[in-house]
Amino acid sequence: MSEQTIIENVIIDTLIGDTRENALDFIAFLRANDYTVVWDGAWWCVHFKDVCPMLIGVNTGGVKFGALFNDCSFNTDSSVDNEIKEAAWAHVQNCFHHETEGEMCGCGDQPGPVEIFGKEFHTCKSPLTFIDPEAQTLANMKKLLLLANISQC
């Protein structure tokens, strides 16, 4: 693995301030929870038990730091606190294909509805998208990743 594909090195070399600290904190969380972070040539894929529940971008497409959840099923358990539900709902990536009744958005087709913590959405392949998250959103991302039903990503 080259020095350029180690995510911590890219974060240190390209980000500054709170964005850098938040990104490094998130990567440390991933490593502490047995996730691996692997460069795929465009994004870093977060792996857990041979599944990639999340992609991470650093300095990609105008985004300093971002994370996309892959097509995961989220627990509908009512014990999930409202802050986590609200955080998820606030970061749903609605499908442009669905919203425009047929114009292509890149997902390839109009997806069916997806339930996220009891609410129904029409999402693309990445149902939740976090762009340049601040510290509280980052804390919620960690909880959401742990809640994601990895077997259904």
Domain boundaries, the chain: 3-148
Return the minimum-mean-pLDDT range out of 20-29, 35-44, 71-80, 123-132.
71-80
pLDDT at 1: 46
CA distances in angstroms from 81 to 76, 78, 103, 114, 118, listed in the order given: 11, 8, 36, 20, 12
Contact (Cβ atoms closer than 8 angstroms) between residue 35 and residue 147? no
pLDDT in tens, 72-131: 667 666 678 889 999 999 998 877 655 555 555 555 555 567 788 888 887 776 788 999
Q: Following DSSP, what letter does each residue of 95-134 receive, concatenated? A: -HHHHTTS---SSSS-PPPEEETTEEE-EEEEEEEEES--
Question: Which tokens sit at 39?
Answer: 């460069």
